[in-house]
Amino acid sequence: MKANYGAAALALLSLLLLSGCETKLEKAVCPNSNVLANTSSVTVFKKGMEGDPSGVLYKVEVTGVTASCDFDLDQGTTDSNVEISFRATRAPNGDSGDYTVPYYVASMLDGTTVLNKQIFATAFSFGPGQSVTTFTADVPSTVIRLQNGKKPYEYSLLVGIQMTREQLDYAKMHGWYAP
């Protein structure tokens, strides 16, 4: 009877070890996903009050990104599903508000060459008196065709908030990211 418990424990241990290998293998065949610091946060102003701190309507920041992927060796592609987490803040007031934030997902090679950039938008809301809200956006398919001789881990997915030149300048002026 004791041998059966030992065999069961060994089988469980083997399963756990194999699942750990699968995780490492999956990481090796998936592009990394990161948030670009320069575009991780945006301040949106009331119309006609751009740049005036008393005119801030809300601020949105990317708080995280996760990705999973499928690797097709025959086709030489990775197909990633990306989930981006956001946090929006505003001064508390009695009004509810519905807004949209544009964001992007860029495919990169070796951290220096942009291969593709897609722009999306996601809606979010503040309830009456609510000053903080969190939300997520899902991009169900980002395909990267591997260049000859390149490995999936040499590619990355970079996400951030799609900003206007004025919004980037405002963020830079306030030191919210390194230039």
User: Is 3 among the domain residues?
Assistant: no
User: Is 1 among the domain residues?
Assistant: no
Token duo for residue 178: 């390194």
User: Is 19 among the domain residues?
Assistant: no
User: How far apart, in whole angstroms, are the C-alpha atoms of residue 82 and residue 138?
Assistant: 6
Domain coverage including residue 64: 31-173
User: Collapsing DSSP states into helix, strand and coil, what is residue 166?
Assistant: helix
User: Is 24 among the domain residues?
Assistant: no
User: Is 20 among the domain residues?
Assistant: no
User: How far apart, in whole angstroms, are the C-alpha atoms of residue 61 and residue 100?
Assistant: 13
pLDDT digits (tens, 9 = 90+) for 121-137: 999 999 999 999 999 99
Q: What are the mean pLDDT values of the chain's consecutive 10-residue runs (179 residues total)?
A: 43 35 56 92 91 88 94 90 96 88 95 93 95 95 90 92 91 64
pLDDT value of residue 25: 52
Q: Are 156 and 27 in contact (CB under 8 A)?
A: no
User: Is 119 among the domain residues?
Assistant: yes
- CATH code for the domain of 80: 2.60.40
User: Is 179 among the domain residues?
Assistant: no
How many domains, in total, are found in the chain? Answer: 1
Give this prediction's pTM: 0.80
User: Is 8 among the domain residues?
Assistant: no
Which of 104, 69, 99, 70 shows the shortest CA–CA distance to 84?
104
Q: Is 84 left (phi over 0), alpha (psi -120 to 50) or beta?
A: beta
